[in-house]
Amino acid sequence: MTKADIVKSISQNTGIEKVTVEKAVEAFMESVKGSLTQGSNIFLRGFGSFIVKKRAEKTARNISKNTTIIVPAHSIPSFKPAKEFVAQVKEQVK
């Protein structure tokens, strides 16, 4: 499902114009990105959490050049689904 599909689905289910729904979806995504960029986590009860994970510095190997490189510590965005959400997906996939 793409962003356009999400906008279309919300528009059909709510009766709100696609343009308005698209602005709301864009605003939601910008809010999530902005919050995670600042290091704040987002918790949506019943859906899941958008969190910032810390990755420690590590040594990696470039196999083709047979060299080692140091990957510095960094943060990455992550999504952790809520237990109810996971249960629904497991039930539907069966």
Question: Which CATH number is 79's domain given?
Answer: 4.10.520.10
Please give the mean pLDDT across all residues of the chain: 94
Q: Distance between CA 85 and CA 83 in Å, rounded?
A: 5
Is residue 36 located within the same domain as residue 76? Answer: no
Q: What is the pTM of this model?
A: 0.77
Tens digits of residue pLDDT in 51-84: 999 999 999 998 899 999 999 999 999 999 999 9
Q: Which residues pair with 27 in a beta bridge?
A: none
Is residue 36 located within the same domain as residue 67? Answer: no
> Domain total for the chain?
2
Is residue 36 located within the same domain as residue 54? Answer: no
| 9: helix, strand or coil | helix
Is residue 34 located within the same domain as residue 65? Answer: no
- Residues of the chain with pLDDT > 90, as a percent, come to 89
Residue ranges making up the domain that contains 49: 45-94
